[in-house]
Amino acid sequence: MQYSSQKLFPCNRQFSRLLYVFPIILVTALSQISFGQQGFDVSQAQYSFAIQIKNTIPGVIAAEWKSPFDLWVEADGVDQAAARNIALDVIFAGKELLQQSFCVHVHNGDFIQIALQCWSYP
């Protein structure tokens, strides 16, 4: 005997639609939660470098590794030219200290990228 959603829920079609949509919403929400969590271990060199950047480069409020190769730097109230200069300063400092390839993303606190600079370690 076949059952359709209309037979199971004859009074409420919207409820039957919700049964189809709910798993999609649930999977999407869970994937966003897991994506936002840090899924890697920051090395001691990366941790020290982020602190050094925060304490030595003018205009930098925070520095956080979002992946093994992506350093996000918060610089409040900077324009695109100033953000690019900060990214270049971070790249210059990281060439010798980190000895790894990495990218610097500069933002104003909202994680919307203003400037991006990458460097590839030989």
For 111-122, the pLDDT digits (tens) are: 899 999 999 988
What CA–CA distance (Å, rounded) separates 6 from 12?
A: 8
Q: Is the pLDDT of residue 43 over 90?
A: yes
What CA–CA distance (Å, rounded) separates 24 from 17?
A: 12
Tokens of 18: 């919700």
Neighbours of 103 (CB within 10 A): 18
Q: Is the pLDDT of residue 34 over 50?
A: no
At 35, the pLDDT band (50, 70, 90 cuts) reads very low
Least confident of 9-23, 53-67, 100-114: 9-23
Tokens of 113: 């990228």
